[in-house]
Amino acid sequence: MQKPIYLDCHSTTPVDQRVLDAMLPYFTEAFGNPSSTSHAYGWEAEAGVKQAREIIANAINASPEEIIFTSGATEANNLAIKGVAEAYFSQGQHIITVATEHRAVLDPCQYLESLGFDITYLPVKEDGLIDLEELKNAIRPDTILVSVMVANNEIGVIQPIAEIGRICHEKEVLFHTDAAQAIAKIPLDVQGMNIDLMSLTAHKVYGPKGIGALYVRRRNPRVRLASQIQGGGQERGIRSGTLYPPQIVGFGKAVELGLEERDTEAERQKQLRDRAWQEFSQLEGVHLNGHPEQRLPGNLNISVEGVDGTALILGLQPVIAVSSGSACSSQSTEPSHVITALGRPKALAQASVRFGLGRFTTSEAIDQAIEQTVTTIHSLRKANAVQV
């Protein structure tokens, strides 16, 4: 059976062949434990890990010592939020985040609420951006952390991270950001953006699943974290557990390639995305979700009036693989919390489609996606006899 065209790159991406080639020797040849520093097998594995750590650090203008490897962005988010909550408990129990964050941020915050922490969930405007004045007003003397993602995983909206970081540092509050969707796609600078903690993952940028990282600032200020996994003391004692060199090397290679191709890929994907939106916008009752410009170049999220959301996705499936929102919540029948936060009514939020373009998305694929989407919308509306 021929698979549909893949347009779900915010969910995950295929491992680039060049990344796989870099990983393979670390399964069978350089297979040592990087913590075994008494022989050549360990040294070889450690060298691969060290190089990857340097690549990732340089990509965000950090030092290698500030990169802590995790199993992915979900663990990195949990480590950042719970780690700060525990380490700074005596200074305050107030945390600020945003209503449109990934569940990997919202759920840890809700867990902390059950322990007595006070969580402020900032709303977003109709375009998905937060109001900076609302953020300023939300910060209190007992606020210990602000967590705002760089780029939203559903609507692709890029928040004003540098301004948020400046506000946090002026108020002497730690700033964490989930950059899972942003690494190697848009410029990131933890120094220039005043970021104290940054969550990263490999599989959104053509690297392997199961590997991520947390950037933890070491000076101005030095961030303290309570470890969530105790054991052998790896990763400066912040995240114990034997490191997995094949994944880490793959992560580094994926970031390296992403940086090399970032600007040309961003422009190419933006042109394809804009072509699709130009066609969809000519249909009545089709709405763009999120800011039209301040968004990831490969993201297009639309809501369609007059159709059933499930039927829309099923109608697209034979030709294109897309989703209605976050892959982590794809089994839920409830409308996306991100789309509803924009002020969309429930029916419209349920009839949303996320197109995630990527490195291997071709012009021909976009043409087929446009044709299938337009045909499906017309077909469903005709079947429902709905006038839009």
Question: Are the CB atoms for 337 and 322 separated by under 8 Å?
Answer: no
Helical (H) or strand (E) element with 108: helix 103-114
Paired strand residues for 175: 146
Residue 156 Cα to chain centre, angstroms: 9
Annotated active-site residue 328? The verdict is yes
Q: What letter represents residue 247's amino acid?
A: Q
For residues 57 and 203, give the distance between their C-alpha atoms in angstroms, rounded to a whole number.
17
Distances (CA, A) of 14 to 75, 180, 290: 21, 15, 26
Catalytic: which of 9, 109, 168, 328? 328
Nearest to 200 by CA among 230, 176, 174, 178: 178
CB 134 within 8 A of CB 111: no
- According to DSSP H, which parts of 115-244 are helical? 132-138, 161-170
Whether the ω angle into residue 221 lies within 30 degrees of 0, i.e. cis, is: yes
Name the DSSP letter for residue 313: H
Tell me the H-state helices in 211-281.
Answer: 245-280
Active site residues: 328
